[in-house]
Amino acid sequence: MASIPGHISTMPLSVQGIGKSFGNLSVLSDVSLEVAAGELVCLLGPSGCGKTTLLRIIAGLERQDAGRLLIGPRDISRAHPQERDYGILFQSYALFPNLTIEQNIGYGLSTRNLLRSQIRERVAQMLELVGLTASATKYPGQLSGGQQQRVGLARALAPSPSLLLLDEPMSALDAKVREHLRQELRSLQQQLGITTVMVTHDQDEAMVMADRIAVMNQGRIEQFDTPENIYRYPATPFVANFVGHANWLDYQSVSDGRVHLGPLSLQLDKAVAGGPGRLFCRPEVLRIDNQAQASNSVAAQVKHKLFMGNRYRLTVELEQLQGQPLVADISADLGAAPLDAERVWLTFPPHGMQAFPGGAV
Amino acid sequence: MSSLPYARSVAQPAQPAPRRAQAALLDALFARGVKLLMVVLLVVGLALPLIAMLGKVVEVQNGLAGVWQFVSSSRFLWLLGNSVKVSLSTVALVVPLAYVFAYAMQRSWIPGKRLLRSISLLPLMAPSMLSAIALIYLFGNQGMLKSWFPDGIYGFSGILLGQAFYNFPMALMILVSALGLADARLYDASVSMGANHWKTFVNVTWPGTRYAVFAASCLVFTQTITNFGIPVVIGGDYQVLAMEAYKSVVGQQKFSEGALIGSILLVPALISFAVDAWMRRLRGSQVSSQAATYVAPRNRVRDTVLLLAAGAIALALLSLVLVAVGASLINFWPYDLSFSLRHYDFETSGGVGWLAYRNSLTLAGLTALIGTPIIFTCAYLMEKTRGGWFDGLLRLLCMLPMAVPGLVMGLGYVFFFNHPGNPLGGMYGGIALMVLCCVMRFLTPAQMTATTALRQLNDEIEAASLSLKVPLATTYWRVTVPICLPALLEVFRYLFVSSMTSVSALIFLYSPDTVLAAVAVLNLDDSGNVGAAAALASLILLTSALVSVALYLISRGLLVHTQHWRSARV
């Protein structure tokens, strides 16, 4: 812990029943979220889902119409932004262009009852933390995008806030830089153990960085869970579609742990008996062989085959369920059996499927 | 782990430090205080005088019948006819010329654009009477080119030319910015469909600029119909409404008549203001954010024609200025053409010249020094903070100065501040009231300049400073002001030069001690002292031009000096 300057008072964040409308447009309705101390939570969703509004409400930059906010034991629902205890990193970083990197980082310290030497010491620590000591006297415009992001982060962390808010922090960066900085930001956050809420529309980013992800849609939280559970066990069809690729097959009924799709029936691990609905599975759980397997194996035609580098993406159609193409990912390793046949056997593992009762997604 | 005094340990609950609540309180005081100050200024310095003037109309003898009697009198109709005729003629002359000039500036490859543009701004640097004085020297009874106007320059043609000179830069500014906004994609599409130049102009350029042509026409019409400086100097027997309003208040003490004419002159201004606002809403944002900047291709024939046209216009503007300045340096036109500075001692005119000049410098300096921070800070707070209905009221009030001609404002000040019951009456005749009047009169364009600059800044800068618990005023001072310094200097320049050259409102407000240079120009000319009037007008021109150049150099130096952080925008 020697490299980490200052204490971070880790505090949980509690969002309780937040509602917000702009005019007649309801942006958030009854949003609740418990973020544990030291946890990184991602707000993930398509644009317009309300994730940025929620972050701005937590920051006090927008005022909610209903609901409460707590940082630790303290109710901040009605507090001004300056009375809340957080640091924020914006999409644009919002660095002060006319101030040097040092001055930017020390900006939030200058109004506190600190000696000049204490400020200097703290700024030096932060510069070291983000590895920009050599650029202390440069101006933001002279740094690369990734460096600017680190300055923004150091500036937000310098006053030792108990909560860190990240507003699409990677979206202004190149793909390569982004991947590297994701890990850097995450490990820094873990080192400091600071409670963090991050907004993103990039599911990969959320997967890689978050302890838990809150998937949002139309002003509501659809699912709040770990990345693994969000991916494997989506709570709603929306989550299944938004995160990763989803395959869907219409079914007529579920009974005795089996789902009935026209002439076919497949074994499921978890199945509640009921009426029609849609069956969901991920592309990579599907197995493709030249022969039928013991159970849940169905004959299919290969329609397209795309080479993706590390894998092939096949588009297949079940012979008995025409018109509902499925996507299956298989390894492209040279050791793997090459599949040239047009007719294959598709195996649906019982653990990889989920039945969503009801109609369309 | 280091143990800095400000770092809280995990065990301690996070209590809000009192300093943070203080920051929020300071912000509220800063934001509401400045906005409230602005509303008070606008109410006292604009709304109430306007109401006072409208109230004065009621005092016309015989009430409504009296008003009707007045407006149906043959003299009033004659004045109205004269005013409308000369104003419409000015629009017809100025707007096409300004369009050609603006087109040459924005859509051609002609050389010397910067020089031409600088010359085109000269009329703004001097009081409106300068052109009329120069015209008299050229075409008047003793003018060297008298034969050009066999019927005499005094009257319709004199007013028309003088107004054209004075209004040209204002029309030009609107058209230059309209022609600067063009979507290259539309031009590419037009050319790719085989349209020729004329067709492209009719189908692309004209639709994109016709609103600006209308706006410029409205502005020129309103300015011309409410201006009385030029008619007083060169109008002769051709009398107009604005002059009549001025004379009935200043010369004949017929206040209610002055108020009535003032109210009538408010009508075209209000109509054009309303139509302009309506059109703006109608068309929304014309150029989308995806628009590519259009750069006109080179075309030798077009550029030659445009260079000749713009050059001729600039030459005409420049020669009027040079004639006025030159005439002020000549001993006795046209009999003794030797060089002389005698017009500049203002002895024959009772020595009022230098006093007036000093007063004008004081007024312009104070207006710029006081007006710039108030207007800029208020624009900042209106852009970056929210205040509900109060902001709506403020926004409305801030647009009002645009719709009130100077003459009307001056009359309003007379009726409001000169009223025996007004506790602020002591300000009347003093420099403070004139400063207030100037800040109010020139508020809207100054604020638009500020707002344009502020909109280019990232809104997240304020949000970031809030999250760092820094008071808004600190961020405004440490970050916003340094970034916006060029715009700030431009607001300063505009307020200084406008106050220096303005006559219309201030002529009602001075006392013998606080007489102003631009007002003295009018008075000197009126008393037949044309040489001294030309000298004083030249002095104003020189001062305005020098201040403008100096501020331009400072601004450029600043940009060079701050290049290291301005070069790459964050």
Q: Between chains, do B7 and A61 touch, taking CB under 8 Å as contact?
A: no
pLDDT in tens, B433-485: 999 999 999 999 999 899 988 988 888 899 999 899 888 999 999 999 999 99
SS3 of B456-517: the string is CCCCHHHHHHHHCCCCHHHHHHHHHHHHCHHHHHHHHHHHHHHHHHCCCCHHHCECHHHCCH
From the list A9, A121, A140, the residue facing B8 with the nearest CB is: A9
A20 CA to chain B: closest CA distance, Å? 17
Query: Under DSSP, is residue B243 helix (H, G, I), strand (E, B) or coil?
Result: helix
Give the pLDDT score at B288: 52
In chain A, what residues touch B466 (CB-CB under 8 Å)?
A: 59-61, 80-82
Give the pLDDT score at B431: 93
Q: Between chains, do A111 and B566 touch, taking CB under 8 Å as contact?
A: no
Give the pLDDT score at A107: 94
Give the pLDDT score at B477: 94
Tokens of residue B475, six digits: 């961020």
Nearest-angstrom CA–CA distance, B300 and A207: 61
A183 CA to chain B: closest CA distance, Å? 24
In chain B, what residues touch A165 (CB-CB under 8 Å)?
A: 467
**pLDDT at residue B569 is higher than 60:** no
Q: Between chains, do B565 and A85 touch, taking CB under 8 Å as contact?
A: no
CATH 3.40.50.300 residue ranges in chain A? Answer: 13-241
Angle between helices B485-501 and B431-441 (to 10 degrees): 120
B391 CA to chain A: closest CA distance, Å? 17
Phi-psi region of A168 (alpha: psi -120 to 50; beta: other; left: phi over 0): left
Which residue does chain A place closest to B459, by CA atoms?
Answer: A94
**pLDDT at residue B248 is higher than 70:** yes
Touching check for A148 and chain B: CB below 8 Å? yes
Compute the 3-state secondary structure of chain B and give helix, strand, coil in percent, each to the nearest 5. Answer: 75, 0, 25
**pLDDT at residue B78 is higher than 90:** yes
* CATH classification (class only), A13-241: alpha beta
Q: Which of residues 144-173 of B touch A (CB under 8 A)?
A: none
Nearest-angstrom CA–CA distance, B515 and B350: 13
Positions of chain A with pLDDT lower than 70, given as ranges? 1-9, 334-341, 359-361
Q: Between chains, do B1 and A1 touch, taking CB under 8 Å as contact?
A: yes
pLDDT in tens, B35-58: 999 999 999 999 999 999 888 887
Mean pLDDT value across residues B63-91: 90
Q: Which of residues 544-563 of B touch A (CB under 8 A)?
A: 562
In chain A, what residues touch B480 (CB-CB under 8 Å)?
A: none
In chain B, what residues touch A80 (CB-CB under 8 Å)?
A: 21, 24, 27, 466
Q: Are B471 and B414 in contact (CB under 8 A)?
A: no
Q: Between chains, do B458 and A94 touch, taking CB under 8 Å as contact?
A: yes
Q: Between chains, do A156 and B6 touch, taking CB under 8 Å as contact?
A: no
Please name the amino acid found at residue B82: N
Q: Are A153 and A192 in contact (CB under 8 A)?
A: no
- Per the model's pLDDT, the better-predicted residue between B317 and B331 turns out to be B317
pLDDT band at B11 (very low <50, low <70, confident <90, very high): very low
From the list B16, B21, B565, the residue facing A97 with the nearest CB is: B565
Q: Which candidate in B2, B461, B469 is best for mutational testing of the A interface (most A CBs within 10 A)?
A: B469
Which residue does chain B place closest to A105, by CA atoms?
Answer: B468
In chain B, what residues touch A10 (CB-CB under 8 Å)?
A: 10
In chain B, what residues touch A148 (CB-CB under 8 Å)?
A: 570
In chain A, what residues touch B15 (CB-CB under 8 Å)?
A: 74
CATH 2.40.50.140 residue ranges in chain A? Answer: 247-357
| From A28-37, A223-232, B4-13, B488-497, the region with the lowest mean pLDDT | B4-13
pLDDT band at B570 (very low <50, low <70, confident <90, very high): very low
Q: Name the architecture of domain A247-357.
A: Beta Barrel (2.40)
Report pTM.
0.85
pLDDT in tens, A183-229: 889 999 998 899 999 999 999 999 999 999 999 999 999 999 999 99
Q: Are A97 and B566 in contact (CB under 8 A)?
A: yes
Please name the amino acid found at residue B559: L
pLDDT in tens, B402-421: 888 888 899 999 989 988 88
Q: Between chains, do B469 and A82 touch, taking CB under 8 Å as contact?
A: yes
Mean pLDDT value across residues B506-525: 91
Q: Which helix or strand (DSSP H or E) is residue A277 part of? A: strand A277-281
Q: Which domains does chain B have, with CATH numbers?
A: 18-51+345-565 (1.10.3720.10), 73-330 (1.10.3720.10)
From the list B3, B9, B468, the residue facing A159 with the nearest CB is: B468
Q: Which candidate in A52, A96, A129 is best for mutational testing of the B interface (most B CBs within 10 A)?
A: A96
Q: Which of residues 193-252 of A touch B (CB under 8 A)?
A: none
Closest CA to B190 of B296, B66, B298: B296
Terminal alpha carbon distance of chain A: 48
| From B162-166, B190-194, B565-569, the region with the lowest mean pLDDT | B565-569
| From A303-307, B536-540, B563-567, the region with the lowest mean pLDDT | B563-567
In chain A, what residues touch B465 (CB-CB under 8 Å)?
A: 107
**pLDDT at residue B304 is higher than 90:** yes
ipTM of the complex: 0.81
A208 CA to chain B: closest CA distance, Å? 26
B371 CA to chain A: closest CA distance, Å? 25
Give the pLDDT score at B90: 97
In chain B, what residues touch A195 (CB-CB under 8 Å)?
A: none
| From A153-167, B243-257, B350-364, the region with the lowest mean pLDDT | B243-257
Query: Mean pLDDT across chain B, nearest whole number?
Result: 86
Q: Which residue has the tokens 């020390």?
A: A106
In chain B, what residues touch A11 (CB-CB under 8 Å)?
A: 14
Q: Which residue has the tokens 């590297």?
A: A180
Q: Are B362 and B370 in contact (CB under 8 A)?
A: no
Tokens of residue A128, six digits: 């070291």
Q: Which candidate in A10, A13, A91, A98 is best for mutational testing of the B interface (most B CBs within 10 A)?
A: A98
In chain A, what residues touch B458 (CB-CB under 8 Å)?
A: 92, 94
Q: Which candidate in A63, A69, A71, A82 is best for mutational testing of the B interface (most B CBs within 10 A)?
A: A82
Give the pLDDT score at B481: 94
Touching check for A70 and chain B: CB below 8 Å? no
In chain A, what residues touch B1 (CB-CB under 8 Å)?
A: 1-2, 4, 6-7
